[in-house]
Structure 1
Amino acid sequence: MSNNIAYEDIFLGREASASKTISEYDVYSFAGVTGDFNPIHVNAEFAKNSIFKERIAHGIISVGLISAVLGTQLPGINTIYLAQEVKFLSPVKLGDTLTATVTCIEKNDDKHYIFFRTTVRNQKGIIVTDGQAKVLKK
């Protein structure tokens, strides 16, 4: 369900989250959409000899979950995603359940910019992606 939270109703510390289990279908679909067929993502035999010893999901999929939270929950519809700083801290494995959380850390009332801490954790609580987003909310 989409929300449309008014700028005035967003306060420091307000947060929202969404979760998704990453499947093989997600990885192959993402590869097809983007053209990123790096064998670490799509070739089990190749991945066995990598530092991860198994296939991993594209890290940027976790950023897509952040986008989903920003665009559908907080701030919700009519949000313009302007910037994202991101650090990939741990691999996302097929079957991992990721939870993306956005937390308001700053507001610019003159320009209606909102800054969010953006974190994605796996089912073990390990932060796989960390960063900060800047959005415009009218």
Structure 2
Amino acid sequence: MSFSAFHLYFDDLEVGQEWTSGGRTVTEGDIVNFAGFSGDFNPIHIDHEFAKGTPFRRPIAHGFAVFCIASGLSLIAPPMRTIALLKVVDWKFSQPVFIGDTVHTLSRVKEKILRGRGRRGEILWYRAIVNQDGKTVQEGEVSTLVECRTPAREAADRDARTAPSSSGTV
């Protein structure tokens, strides 16, 4: 995926701004695929008969699978020029997610720190994963590295916008 004019720079955000993503329904295929990818075949996730004997009475999604789904949802809410996830500062898994649950993310800018001599910045985000009933199932803080608008980049963008057309028509 490449960035477009639609993607926001570090400079475009203010502390306190927040976004809510669209929803994503968790499927049994998601759980099985995550088990295969991660190697986590704990029966609480993949064995319906075993899960009947647990407090949940049915399989639950892996906590990290839900975290990963939320990471994808956060890519466009807001659409950022993200370079890297730097760290998970704090994270809580507070409610189970079941097959058929629909989750969305809430992302809020908590802090901005300029890095790389103004070429990039670190954003501390509060993120919450919320289910279809409005219950927060996971929440915490993550830090990402995001491109800044640099004077050279700004000048190049401005020159590209004001350059005469080369269509050959006079």
* TM-score (normalizing by structure 2): 0.74
What is the alpha-carbon root mean square deviation over aligned residues?
Answer: 1.9
How many positions carry a matched residue from both structures?
138
Q: Which among 8, 11, 30 is matched to residue 14 of structure 2?
A: 11
Larger radius of gyration: 2
Structure 2 residue runs without a partner (length 5+): 148-170
Check conservation: 1:81, 1:134, Cα contact below 8 A.
yes
- Point out 4+ residue stretches in structure 1 off by more than 6 angstroms: none
CA shift, 1:87, in A, is: 0.5
Within the alignment, does 1:130 sit opposite 2:135 as a pair? no
Q: Aligned equivalents of 2:73 and 2:101: distance in 1?
A: 18
Deviations 1:10-29 (A, max 9, x none): 11122232320001111111
Check conservation: 1:87, 1:130, Cα contact below 8 A.
yes
* TM-score (normalizing by structure 1): 0.90
Deviations 1:39-64 (A, max 9, x none): 00000000001121111111112211
CA shift, 1:130, in A, is: 0.7
Structure 1 residue runs without a partner (length 5+): none
Q: Aligned equivalents of 1:43 and 1:66: distance in 2?
A: 24
Between 90-99 and 64-73, the greater mean CA deviation after superposition: 64-73
Check conservation: 2:26, 2:102, Cα contact below 8 A.
yes
Between 59-68 and 87-96, the greater mean CA deviation after superposition: 59-68
CA shift, 1:101, in A, is: 1.7
Q: Which among 29, 44, 63 is matched to residue 48 of structure 2?
A: 44
